[in-house]
Amino acid sequence: QSEPIRVLVTGAAGQIAYTLLYRIAKGDVFGKDQPIILILLDIPPMLPVLDGVVMELQDCALPLLREIIPTDKIEVGFKDIDAAILVGSMPRKEGMEKKDLLKANVAIFKTQGAALDKYAKKTVQVVVVGNPANTNCLIALKFAPSIPKENFSCLTRLDHNRACSQVAMHCGVSSDKVKNVIIWGNHYSTQYPDVHHAIVNTHGCELGAYKAVKNDAWLHGDFILTVQQRGAAVIKARKLSSAMSAANAVCDHIKDIWFGTKEGEFISMGVYAAGNSYGIPEDLIYSFPVQIKNKRWKVVDGMSTNDFSRAKMNATAAELMEERDAALDFLT
Ligand code: NAI
């Protein structure tokens, strides 16, 4: 068996982590032969809760889990890590302005970016989940100049999975029969779920999603709205935000980084936009269709975009630019 890898999860006392930590420790993400040292970082008031999480992880008796390190200290949390899963962020509280929320998160991700730069392995893979995920990821990247920008990504896989599932349900097939949906742009509500290049396998026959669904009005209307507003719908129903599905998406996202995407398939993730061929402004973390090999992602180029798509891709870029500029203002 190989040497254990050090995996940091921030927000480790929270609800996404509660599912995520189990899945990682059990081997669902880094492979069934990869021993793990799990580092659980949260803020000081949550340390007693972390103790409970540690006890439960111990009680799962998982053979791959070699050590668990609960901490509220950045220098312990980020030391020599191979993977950083940044889930913890400041939640929106009653009456809190969007601006104040952004300010608090800029401060958190500036500190964590600097900690990555100082303490983590230079090969560390960084995945940002905490919202606003795209902008938080951009801030962390800017404060970790010694780590390649390609090692940073933010989670839009939950939106991607939601889009796959909606199309699969509409066509009456299982979700693995739908591939190559795209989430463009932000994880937030201007995101553009695009199925112009998606393929549905029905009864052994591969069809473009528009042909398989046979309902352009739905694809241009309710489908997009359902995916964009799914997070809010879950909160309304559960009185809590998506946690099981978010943790599952984090697992899918990191597994694809570690082991690569399937031949002929692509997935969506928020990555640094420099050098993209879609005319998206460069200094953004923007969700694109990507293929991954040897832990390196590559944006899939040359996908045709019609006027409908173009307008939506630009609108989500505009939202991200505005958020980036507001975030950068807090740093000056
Ligand atoms: P939660 O509120 O249950 O847990 C968050 C945890 O983060 C708390 O334990 C809190 O103490 C901790 N935390 C706050 N600041 C921290 C810091 N500076 N360092 C370390 N830990 C810190 O929230 P939940 O449900 O687990 O969600 C976490 C984040 O993920 C939220 O920002 C949520 O909006 C986001 N999210 C993102 C999704 C995506 O697709 N990108 C999907 C679902 C949620």
Q: Please report the DSSP string for 146-199 in residue order.
A: TS-GGGEEE--HHHHHHHHHHHHHHHTS-GGGEE--EEEB-SSTT-EEE-TT-E
Say which of 187, 203, 220, 253 is annotated catalytic: 187
What percent of the chain clears pLDDT 90, i.e. is strictly above it?
94
- Binding positions for NAD(+) are 42, 105, 129-131
The span from the CA of 128 to the CA of 122, in Å, is 17
- How many residues are recorded in the chain? 332
For 121-152, the pLDDT digits (tens) are: 999 999 999 999 999 999 999 999 999 999 99
Torsion angle of the four alpha carbons 10, 40, 112, 316, in this order, in degrees rounded to the nearest 10: -20
**pLDDT of res. 120:** 98
- What pLDDT score does 94 carry? 75
**pLDDT (0 to 100) of residue 82:** 98
Q: CATH no. for residue 105?
A: 3.40.50.720
Burial track 185-200 (b if 16+ CB lie within 10 A, e otherwise): bbbbebbbbbbbbbbb
Q: Is residue 48 part of a domain?
A: yes
Please compute the mean of the pLDDT values over residues 266-289 and round it to a whole number.
97
223 pLDDT higher than 80: yes
**Total number of domains in the chain:** 2
Ligand 1 pocket: which of 131, 137, 253, 285 to mutate (most atoms within 8 A of CB): 131
| Residue pLDDT, tens place only, 75-102 | 999 999 999 999 999 887 777 788 888 9
pLDDT of residue 77: 98
Question: Residue 267: which pLDDT band, with cuts at 50, 70 and 90?
Answer: very high
193 and 306 inside one domain: yes
- pLDDT at position 95 is 76
The residue from 154, 179, 206 where one domain ends is: 154
> Residue 273 sits in which domain range?
157-324
Antiparallel, parallel or unpaired: β 285-293 and 199-202: unpaired
Which ipTM score applies to this complex? Answer: 0.99
Q: Residue 2: which pLDDT band, with cuts at 50, 70 and 90?
A: confident
> By CB neighbour count within 10 A (0-12 exposed, 13-18 middle, 19+ buried), where does 160 fall?
buried
Boundary-marking domain end, from 106, 132, 154: 154
The mean pLDDT of 22-34, rounded to a whole number, is: 97
Looking at the structure, do residues 11 and 85 belong to the same domain, yes or no?
yes
Q: What is the rounded CA–CA span in Å between residue 287 and residue 205? A: 29
Based on the fold, state whether residues 148 and 170 are members of the same structural domain: no
Residues 291 and 146 in one domain: no
Which residues of the chain form beta strands (DSSP E)? 5-10, 36-41, 65-71, 83-86, 125-128, 152-154, 178-179, 182-184, 192-194, 199-202, 205-208, 267-272, 285-293, 296-299
- For ligand 1, atom 27, the nearest C-alpha belongs to 16
Question: Are 244 and 306 in a shared domain?
Answer: yes
Task: Tell me the mean pLDDT in the region 270-288.
Answer: 97
Cβ pair 290, 300 in contact under 8 A: yes
- Read off the pLDDT of each residue in 44-63 and give the average, rounded to a whole number: 98
Both tokens assigned to 29:
């993400």
Residue 23 located in a structural domain: yes
Confirm whether 187 is a catalytic residue.
Answer: yes
**332/107 Cα distance (integer angstroms):** 12
Inside any domain, residue 114? yes
Answer yes or no: is pLDDT of 186 > 90: yes
> Average of pLDDT values for 3-18?
98
pLDDT for 156: 98
| CB neighbours of residue 143 within 10 Å | 18
Q: What is the pLDDT of residue 50?
A: 98
Residues 54-72 have a mean pLDDT of 98
Query: Rounded to two decimals, what is the model's pTM?
Result: 0.97
Nearest one of 282, 252, 244, 281 to 269, comparing CA atoms: 252
Phi, psi angles (nearest 5°) of residue 6: -100, 120
| Domain identity same for 117 and 181 | no
* CATH number, position 184: 3.90.110.10
Task: Give the residue, 98 or 207, on which the prediction is more confident.
Answer: 207
In a domain, 330, yes or no: no
What is the whole-number distance in angstroms between the Cα of residue 318 and the centre of ligand 1? 25
How far apart are the C-alpha atoms of 186 and 247, rounded to whole Å?
19
Is residue 298 scored above 90 in pLDDT? Answer: yes
- Assess whether the previous peptide bond of 193 is cis (omega < 30° from 0): no
**Residue-wise DSSP of 184-240:** EB-SSTT-EEE-TT-EEEETTEEEEHHHHH--HHHHHTHHHHHHHTHHHHHHHHHSS
Quote the mean pLDDT of the chain.
96
Dihedral sign of CA atoms 49, 51, 53, 56 in order? negative
Q: Is residue 332 part of a domain?
A: no
pLDDT higher than 90, residue 274:
yes
Q: What is the share, in percent, of the chain residues with pLDDT greater than 70?
A: 100
| pLDDT of res. 279 | 96
Q: Which two tokens stand for residue 279?
A: 């005319």
If pLDDT is split at 50, 70 and 90, which confidence band does 69 have? very high
Cα separation, 303 vs 289, in Å, equals 9
Query: Ligand 1 pocket by C-beta < 6 Å: which residues?
Result: 10-11, 13-17, 41-43, 46, 87-91, 108, 129-131, 133, 155, 158, 187, 241-243, 246
Which pLDDT value is given to residue 93? 76
Confidence grade of residue 163 (pLDDT, cut at 50, 70, 90): very high
Whole-number pLDDT of residue 332: 81
* Judgement on whether residues 103 and 174 belong to the same structural domain of the protein: no
